[in-house]
Amino acid sequence: MRAEDWDRRYAEQAQWSPGPNDLVADLLADVPPGTAVDLAAGEGRHALWLAGRGWAVTAVDFSDVGLERGRTRPGAERVSWVAADVLTWSAGEGSLDLVLVAYLHLPQEEMTPLLARAVGWLRPGGRLLLLGHDVANLTAGVGGPQEPSILHSVDRLAPVARLLDVDRLEQVRRATPQGTALDTLLWGRRAAR
């Protein structure tokens, strides 16, 4: 989808709940605050949650309408809002403690290089958290994009996982009002030098 498509979706209605995804919140609950980026932040639900926990967080998305929704939320002044394409935006090498990528779906030939660059943005010990719809969700889950080429899987994320000390790389189940959705989780850290 293009930025204009997402602008239209955000203009029609809020897209997600205001709070963080439960698994994101669980995984980050005990991680000390630092400097983070929320890539493809949309309305900024994760960025706002992180900022509320003391993180210095940048929310990056190519939808001005989605970011504007985030800017109107309580605590928005604690977030740096950046309208940019995640494929061209960059952080400084070794400058971040966390890269969060929640439900960003791109073809693998774009996603893998983006995530490899994102690993480089992490300080030693910094964490990468990716969560998104698994390709198996098409036949065994509910919701999410219906284009197989942009969905995640353990195999598709393996090249990025090799760049990290991995805590978890797996398919996970997520309860929704419509039924169970299948997601892929990659949770790891950049190796210490």
pLDDT in tens, 20-59: 999 999 999 999 999 999 999 999 999 999 999 999 999 9
Contact 169, 115 (CB under 8 A): no
At residue 19, the pLDDT reads 87
Tell me how far the alpha carbon of residue 68 is from its chain's centroid: 18
Number of helices (H) and strands (E) in the chain: give both, helices first: 7, 7
Mean pLDDT of 92-112: 97
pLDDT in tens, 129-148: 999 999 999 999 999 999 99
Q: Torsion over CA of 178, 168, 185 and 29, rounded to 10 degrees? A: 80
Contact status, residue 58 vs residue 80, Cβ threshold 8 Å: yes
Number of Cα atoms under 13 Å in the Cβ half of residue 49: 18
**Phi, psi at residue 20, to the nearest 5°?**
-75, 160
- Do 123 and 98 meet the contact criterion of CB atoms below 8 Å apart? no
Confidence (pLDDT) at 157: 98
Is the CB of residue 98 less than 8 Å from the CB of residue 129? yes
pLDDT for residue 193 is more than 90: no
- Give me the domains of the chain, ranges plus CATH numbers: 3-189 (3.40.50.150)
